[in-house]
Structure 1
């Protein structure tokens, strides 16, 4: 899995910033689209089925996939030994995103997502930073 993560970092990350409180990652959507169109296994290995269901049901597929990939890459920086395939984003009834591992909400991080036509991103805040 480490090789796949490094492949994604090398090919997708446009901007990265880290502090003690947060991880900010911005991905280049043209590169996300290229990897998706070419069935890149690094990309496919870390996406959860809920990530794909969300992205395909609401339009702007590449932007939404990019934001979810950014979350996983940021989380991997905080917790490099976690299996990213089991991590996904779930939105509550108001649309606020939260991070989940299998069937449990991960309560020690707060996430924010962004996606525009050219870039997708995520910011993970450590709950201890509030």
Structure 2
């Protein structure tokens, strides 16, 4: 794959620093929303929700649980864009049981990538 700004799978990426190439990192044309989160502050579920809510500017009705996180990531009406990218720096420090979070990020990517009403949109996550 030449870059991660696509609507196709995979939607969650983990790159070593050596694998980062400028062509991979450049966004396509259109509006982009990039949120940079700190994995060191995501050591538990509450920290995940705090980072996501703060950096993605979730609305006040965010429910502070996994289902609410999934719902918000598949909506994003308050931050309209053609392409969404979540960058989690220091991802090795994200909560030990990260399967739930990665599944939610994957489902959000699939949702945005398969929208028939708005083709060409993307939602990807990059773990550094």
Q: Give the shorter-chain TM-score range.
A: under 0.3
TM-score between the two structures when normalised by the length of structure 1: 0.27
TM-score between the two structures when normalised by the length of structure 2: 0.27
- Greater length-normalized contact order (CA 8 Å, ≥ 6 residues apart): 2
Q: Counting helix residues as a fraction of each chain, which structure ranks higher? A: 1
